[in-house]
Homo-oligomer: A and B are copies of this chain.
Amino acid sequence: MASLTPLKDIGEFALIRRLQQKINLRQPSTVLGIGDDAAILAPAAGQEVVVSTDLLVEGIHFDLMFCPLRHLGYKAVAVNVSDIAAMNAVPTQIVVGLSTGPRLTVEAIEELYEGMRLACEAYKVDLVGGDTTSSRGGLTISITALGQVEAGKAVRRSGGKPTDLLCVSGDLGGAFLGLQVLEREKQAFLADPETQPELGSYEYVVQRQLKPEARLDIVHELRELGVTPTSMIDISDGLASEVMHLCAGSGTGARVFSEYLPLANPTLEAAAEFNLDPITCALNGGEDYELLFTVPVTDHAKIKNHPDITIIGHLTEKEDAVNLITKGGQAVPLQAQGWTAF
């Protein structure tokens, strides 16, 4: 086993130098990256800048017992890129704040940054600034992402109109079931540390939990199809909560058809095994990081055959409220359980 270096042995400046060496800059808008009081960016002419920030807190958003640091680093970047994508923008830079207790070694922090570096590579994002400090508690990762979008072309939550089609990318509920699998394996391990984890048949849902991808591909594909969503939001807290946000922002109601919700086979299988309703997992599970968006009904032909976009319903007048339409045709008011982390 390679020797492990306590953080206090090298100090903050040396750690930053070590991490900095591995960073490549690839965005034309990055004038100056890490190493000064601030990074310098030169957004392209005619572009607006979008900015979003997210905190990931140990014990609340992740459990280091089953979340490998490299995956965690990747996910931390992906969830921020997802917010940028949800504005119809392309991510360009991130800055990273990291606070960690003495438990994590230099090598562990490097693993975490390696995951971030891989995500930056995948999404063509430059890591241009950071702050690394100690804490008395666990690990906290704070990422702020910047992106660019043609002036006036950012898509908000508020632009949806009654009759607009309500669409989601990918499939839902998987990340939540992946978490159930990981929690179960953790309990088994705690009961008997000799137990080998059995994740084989759950690979898909576990992957959805540990290494979600931001749907930047959908942003690019919609552009190629000539479709500009009227409103958009990313699905971090579960579909129900996001539909409520979108409708509140747009001043509309909605009809969401439960039988149209996209559920992958491994998700259905895992739900059956855990005796959970897959529809509930999709509505309230969260962490799928898919995109929820609306398009005018006149764009129906352009998207109906897209293999990775599903039309799950449509917006209505506000008075009609936000309803889930069951298979039997019954309208049930949608509950935004969302995410109350307090």
**Residues of A with Cβ closer than 8 Å to B?**
6-8, 10-13, 15, 31-32, 35-43, 45, 48-55, 57-61, 83-84, 86-87, 89, 93, 95-99, 102, 128-131, 133-138, 140, 142, 144-147, 149, 151, 154, 156-158, 232-234, 249, 338-342
Seed contacts A12-B340, A43-B43; 10 additional CB < 8 Å A-B pairs: A8-B340, A36-B157, A38-B52, A38-B83, A40-B50, A42-B151, A53-B144, A55-B140, A99-B140, A133-B341
Chain B residues lying within 8 Å of A339, measured Cβ to Cβ, are 12
| CB < 8 Å neighbour of A87 from B36, B99, B131, B232 | B36
* A289 CB to nearest chain B CB (Å): 11
Q: Which of B49, B157, B234, B249 contacts A41 (CB 8 A)?
A: B49
Chain B residue contacts of A130, Cβ below 8 A: 53
A133 to B140 CA separation, bound complex (whole angstroms): 11
Shortest beta-carbon contacts, A-B, top 10:
A137-B137, A142-B142, A38-B52, A144-B144, A37-B86, A11-B340, A38-B50, A53-B95, A7-B342, A55-B97
Please, could you name 16 A-B residue pairs with CB atoms under 8 Å apart, sorted by A?
A6-B342, A8-B342, A12-B342, A15-B342, A31-B48, A36-B87, A36-B233, A36-B249, A37-B52, A37-B232, A38-B51, A40-B87, A54-B97, A57-B136, A99-B140, A134-B341
Are B129's CB and A53's CB within 8 A?
Answer: yes
Q: Select A38's contact among B6, B39, B86, B99, beta carbons within 8 Å.
A: B86
Residues A51 and B41 in contact, CB atoms below 8 Å apart: yes
Chain B residue at minimal CB-CB distance from A8: B342
Is B138 touching A137 in the complex (CB atoms < 8 A)? yes
How many copies of the shown chain assemble into the complex? Answer: 2
Most B-side CB within 10 Å, residue of A98, A144, A234, A339: A144
Chain B residues with CB under 8 Å of A8's CB are 340, 342
Please tell me if the beta carbons of A233 and B48 are within 8 angstroms of each other in the complex: no
Given contact pairs A87-B40, A234-B37, A53 touches B97 in the complex (Cβ within 8 A): yes
B residues less than 8 Å from A15 (CB atoms): 342
Report yes or no: A50 in contact with B55, Cβ–Cβ below 8 A: no
In the complex, what residues of B have CB within 8 A of residue A89's CB?
38
Q: How far is the CA of A15 from the CA of B340 in the complex (A)?
A: 11
Known: A51-B39, A55-B99, A342-B11. A134 touches B87 (CB 8 A): no
Task: Decide: A342 near B129, CB < 8 A? Known: A32-B154, A42-B151, A156-B36.
Answer: no
Chain B residues with CB under 8 A of A156: 32, 36
Given the interface pairs A36-B87, A154-B32, A157-B36, the reply to whether A51 lies near B146 with Cβ below 8 Å is: yes
